[in-house]
Homo-oligomer: A and B are copies of this chain.
Amino acid sequence: MVITRDLAPPAADVASYRAVRDLTESLASPLSPEDQTVQSMDDVSPTKWHRAHTTWFFETFLLLPNLPGYEPFHPDFGFLFNSYYEAVGSRHPRANRGVISRPGVEETAAYRRYVDEAMARLLLRSEPDPDLASLVELGLNHEQQHQELLLMDIKHVLAANPLRPAYHRELEREPETWRPARYLPRPGGLYEVGHAGDGFSFDNELPRHEVKLGDYELADRPVNCGDFLAFIDDGGYHRPELWLSDGWAMVRANGWNAPLYWSGDGESSVYTLGGPLPIDPSEPVCHISYYEADAFARWAGGRLPTEFEWEAASTELGDGHRFSPDWVHPTGGGPHPGGTGQVWEWTGSAYLPYPGFRPAPGAVGEYNGKFMVNQHVLRGGCVATPPGHRRASYRNFFPPGARWPFTGVRIARDPEPTAAR
Residues of chain A touching chain B, judged by Cβ–Cβ distance below 8 Å, are 32-40, 48, 76, 79-80, 84, 86-87, 92, 96, 98-105, 157-158, 160-163, 165, 190, 209-214, 240-241, 243-248, 290-291, 294, 303, 348-350, 352-353, 355-356, 358, 366, 370-374, 376, 400, 414, 418
Contact = CB atoms under 8 A, between A and B. Distances in A.
A1 to B, nearest CB: 19
A49 to B, nearest CB: 11
Contact of A352 (B33, B214, B348): B348
A367 to B, nearest CB: 11
19 contacts: A32-B101, A33-B33, A34-B34, A34-B105, A37-B37, A38-B99, A86-B240, A87-B240, A99-B161, A210-B212, A211-B212, A213-B355, A214-B355, A244-B373, A246-B371, A350-B350, A350-B352, A356-B414, A373-B376
Nearest to A400: B373
A366 B241 CA distance: 8
Contacts of A158: 101
Contact of A35 (B102, B211, B212): B102
Kindly list the 5 A-B residue pairs having the minimum CB-CB distance in the complex, ordered from nearest. A350-B350, A86-B240, A33-B33, A34-B101, A34-B104
A373 B401 CA distance: 11
A112 B248 CA distance: 32
A355 B349 CA distance: 12
A374 B162 contact: no
Given A96-B160, A212-B210, A358 B418 contact: yes
Nearest to A165: B102
A76 B163 contact: yes
Contacts of A157: 99, 101
B100 A160 contact: yes
Nearest to A414: B356
Contacts of A294: 373
Given A104-B34, A373-B244, A80 B356 contact: no
Contacts of A33: 32-34, 37, 104
A372 B295 CA distance: 12
Contacts of A76: 162-163
A373 B366 CA distance: 24
Nearest to A363: B241
Contacts of A211: 212
Nearest to A40: B99
Nearest to A160: B99
Contacts of A244: 370-373
B246 A374 contact: yes
A239 to B, nearest CB: 9
Chain B CB count within 10 A is highest, among A36, A37, A80, A86, for A37
A223 to B, nearest CB: 19
A102 B163 contact: yes
Contacts of A84: 245
A209 B79 CA distance: 50
Given A37-B37, A101-B35, A157-B99, A190 B212 contact: yes
Nearest to A41: B99
Contact of A37 (B101, B291, B352): B101
Contacts of A214: 209, 355-356
A246 B105 CA distance: 32
Contact of A370 (B190, B243, B371): B243
A407 to B, nearest CB: 15
Contacts of A162: 76, 79-80, 92, 100
Nearest to A372: B244
Contacts of A210: 212
A33 to B, nearest CB: 4
